[in-house]
Amino acid sequence: MKGESGVDIENWKNKLPEKEREPVEVILNRLEDSELTNKEQAEVISALHSIIPEYPYYHWRHLHQDLHTACNDFYNEKKDYLSAAIEAVKVFEDKVQKQTGLHSIDGRELIEKAFGSKKSMLLLTNNKTQAEQNLEDGLEQLACGTWTGFRNPVQHELRANLSPSIFNDKDALDLISLVSYLLRKVEQTKKRAKPTSP
């Protein structure tokens, strides 16, 4: 079956979370005991693999490509979930610096200058209606919350106190997913037009 399907079955199963691995093993065992030909079994395995790929949580979330590049090695290969999340936040900060041109500041100061409905450098909307202003302020608050709720504690706490008891693989994926959303929103922003003199 392995040869014809093109799927390294043992490697694939080993990279699935236990919750997904157990039902996949049941299906594979039943398949092996079935009267299907090897070719038919291979087709079923290929189809199953396309639905449940390795690292399913990671693939299923359709994360921003920059995060695949920055976080994949830490998350999928090294199982260093804290470092994967730290890299995601760094990618976001770098994107905001590039979008604003503010390379000399970082952290909360950068976020507060970049986002919001009042005097931000970047705008996601036309910022005219209350709903648009709420979206601008919401983006600022999400970005600040990500920084304050994750990056700051990580910088000031021993790694052993955070990982894995407080910060595990699912926490990392949740944070990386939030950063993915923020990255896409940053890419949709435009620089605020400077007020014209009367």
Say yes or no: 85 and 176 in one domain: yes
Say yes or no: 139 and 102 in one domain: yes
Domain range enclosing 15? 2-54
Q: Distance between CA atoms of 191 and 99, rounded to whole angstroms?
A: 8
Say yes or no: 42 and 100 in one domain: no
User: Model pTM?
Assistant: 0.75
pLDDT, one tens digit per residue, over 58-111 is 666 689 999 989 998 998 888 889 999 999 999 999 999 999 999 999 999 999
Count of structural domains within the chain: 2
Q: Is the pLDDT of residue 1 over 50?
A: no
User: In the chain, what percentage of residues exceed pLDDT 90?
Assistant: 59
**Within a domain: residue 60?**
no
Cis preceding-peptide flag for 56 (omega within 30 of 0): no
Say yes or no: 28 and 110 in one domain: no
Euclidean distance between the first and the last CA atom of the chain, given in angstroms as a whole number: 75
Rg of the chain over all Cα atoms, to the nearest angstrom: 22
* Interacting residues of 97 by C-beta distance below 8 A, sequence separation 6+: 103, 106, 110
What is the rounded average pLDDT of the residues 45-56? 85
Say yes or no: 99 and 164 in one domain: yes
Q: Would you say 13 and 56 are in contact if contact means Cβ atoms under 8 Å apart?
A: no
Say yes or no: 90 and 161 in one domain: yes
- Average pLDDT, rounded, for the chain: 88
Say yes or no: 43 and 74 in one domain: no
pLDDT band at 195 (very low <50, low <70, confident <90, very high): low
pLDDT band at 54 (very low <50, low <70, confident <90, very high): confident
pLDDT the model gives residue 157 = 77
**Within a domain: residue 196?**
no
What is the rounded average pLDDT of the residues 106-124? 95
Helices (H) and strands (E) in the chain, counts: 12, 2
Count the Cβ atoms, other than its own, within 10 Å of residue 14: 10
Where does a domain end: 11, 27, 54? 54
Say yes or no: 79 and 42 in one domain: no
